[in-house]
Amino acid sequence: MQDNSTIKSEFLDFGFGSEINKGITNAGFKVPSPIQKSAIPIIIEGRDLVAQANTGTGKTAAFGLPSMDKIANQKGTGLLVITPTRELASQVADELYNLGKYAGIRTATVYGGSSYTRQISLIEKGAQVVVATPGRLKDLLSGNKLRDFSPKIVVLDEADEMLDMGFLEDIKDIFSYLPKDRQTILCSATMPKPIRILADKILKHPETVSIVDKNDATNKDIHQSYYVIEERERTDALVRLIDHNNPKKAIIFCRMKIEVDRLADTLISKGYSAKGLHGDMDQRARDEVIKNFRNSKINILVATDVAARGLDVKDVSHVINYHIPFDPESYVHRVGRTGRAGQKGEAITLIAPMEFKELLRIQKTMGAPISLESIPSSFDLKEKELISLANEISKAKIKGEASKIISSLGIEIDSSEIALKAISLLLSKHSATGPEHIGFSQKEAKKLLERFQNSSQRSSNSRGKRNGRSSGRSNDRNRRNRSGGSRSRRK
Ligand SMILES: Nc1ncnc2c1ncn2[C@@H]1O[C@H](COP(=O)(O)OP(=O)(O)OP(=O)(O)O)[C@@H](O)[C@H]1O
Ligand SMILES: [Mg+2]
């Protein structure tokens, strides 16, 4: 007999088969999250769906559970999930496998950088769920490499990214090989209007569920702050903030791959347990880095936006934007790597005055409540370290060897002197590095921001007068051009 005693009736009410319920119990899920409550009945009904909900709120299980329940006893691939990155494809395949394994569900992942033969053979042997990135999937389909591949349910995870410029053509091609009578589901934490309009053309009479606050697209469990610095202070600022926050696990986002390599090297040379991740690394190195970050062999991941979407790593306490992203959506997804499944998280963004424009755009379009803070001085850090050292000493358990050392020191040296020497030894391993003051104080930063807002208001007024209309359109075009790098597939 299966044991459903720990899952609440709300999950049982969906009427899934007992094997799927066993998967839910085994995952430790007690009650469905809001997106699961709303989306699952619609998917069970067989309707097309656009599902928008905050980062880390269980969208994978929201589409995975009802889809797998439907296809569990069917032959061949019944569910196809398409994701933008290889890391996300692996993660989604793992989560679906864990939820569906008692129902006999087998999964296959399909992405570039690894063997075609193995991927094809897993599908041919009857994987009911295929999770793929678009490039490799398109190759397999257009090369006629998959026999009788006709999934009845197709999910675009991170749908706004999948339907954006970088992927849209591949997705259209892929859809041309899929059954017309399929059920299609789009999921993401962000759904910009042009993408929603496009979605309506691709889907059949879709239902829409949005569990995102209209005035704040970020997850409420994430505390968000920004620090204004001079460009040349960026790395010192980062190091100071890492030392001050002492993150359990942190992801540091950079705009460029070369910056990822440089920053990871710098942090490693300073003794941090860090590694870089970006799209130019070979697949084995990418897998190794993610594995080590998941199992806490490293606690700082320096990455491009390749790690921005969907990645669900336990205990990520901090996300740090080394540079603010150009796209507001990218901000929401990056910070969403923390504060997941009800946990609290910290998101920190470093901003040079020339990046105020991006900050204001993110605050305006996403409603993100990002508060201005100033970087602790080396003095503040030292004070904090003293307090935490005192705390550690008072809690420390006395080891047998400690009294041996005391006796070996002889009687000439008294116990308070020994204590002072021992603490000094510990302190020498704890010292704050870098300049005493880094970045602007809150007062200075506020003034700089006000000056920036006033001057951009003046220039937009005078442009308005010259053109006789607002220049919003051209701004948007500039943004797109500049953001080409971060939106492109090569992360
Ligand atoms: N009902 C539930 N109860 C408890 N935990 C859950 C539940 N559903 C999902 N989770 C867990 O919550 C975490 C986040 O889920 P998931 O990765 O699906 O989020 P998401 O909404 O897809 O986020 P993102 O927008 O970042 O992709 C996962 O670790 C998942 O196992
Ligand atoms: Mg997700």
Cα distance between residue 136 and residue 172, in whole Å: 14
Residues 6+ apart with CB under 8 A from 76: 126, 128, 148, 149, 150
Cα distance between residue 199 and residue 193, in whole Å: 10
Q: Which amino acid is at 482?
A: R
Q: Give, in words, the CATH class of 4-210.
A: alpha beta
Comma-separated ranges of CATH 3.40.50.300 domains in the chain: 4-210, 222-378
- CATH code for the part of the protein at 222-378: 3.40.50.300
11 CA to middle of ligand 1, Å?
15
Q: Which residue's alpha carbon is nearest to atom 25 within ligand 1?
A: 55
Identify the pLDDT of residue 456.
Answer: 86
Residue 238, CA distances (Å) to 99, 116, 180, 208, 433 in order: 39, 41, 51, 40, 12
**Which ligand 1 atom is at minimum distance from the Cα of 341?**
12
Ligand 1 binding pocket (C-beta < 6 A) is 29, 32-33, 36, 53, 55-61, 189, 310, 312, 336, 340-341
Q: Which residue's alpha carbon is nearest to atom 3 within ligand 1?
A: 29
Residues 6+ apart with CB under 8 A from 88: 157, 158, 309, 310, 311
Strand ranges (E), 201-258: 207-211, 222-228, 250-253
Cα distance between residue 227 and residue 171, in whole Å: 39
How many CB atoms are located within 10 Å of the residue 379 CB?
A: 11
Identify the pLDDT of residue 431.
Answer: 64
305 CA to middle of ligand 2, Å?
15
Tokens 């398409």 belong to: 82
Q: Is the alpha carbon torsion for 199, 201, 207, 212 positive or negative?
A: positive
201 CA to middle of ligand 1, Å?
28
Structure tokens at 193: 């209007």
Per-residue pLDDT of the chain (491 residues; tens, 9 = 90+): 444 556 668 999 999 999 999 999 999 999 999 999 999 999 999 999 999 999 999 999 999 999 999 999 899 999 999 999 999 999 999 999 999 999 999 999 999 998 999 999 999 999 999 999 999 999 999 999 998 899 999 999 999 999 998 999 999 999 999 999 999 999 999 999 999 999 988 899 999 999 999 889 999 999 999 999 999 999 999 999 999 999 999 999 999 999 999 999 999 999 999 999 999 999 999 999 999 999 999 999 999 999 999 999 999 999 999 999 999 999 999 999 999 999 999 999 999 999 999 999 999 999 989 999 999 999 888 888 888 888 888 888 888 888 888 888 776 778 788 888 888 888 777 667 788 999 999 999 999 999 999 988 888 777 777 666 544 434 433 333 333 334 455 67
292 CA to middle of ligand 1, Å?
21
Cα dihedral angle (255, 483, 360, 194), rounded to 10 degrees? Answer: -130
Q: Which residue's alpha carbon is nearest to atom 13 within ligand 1?
A: 341
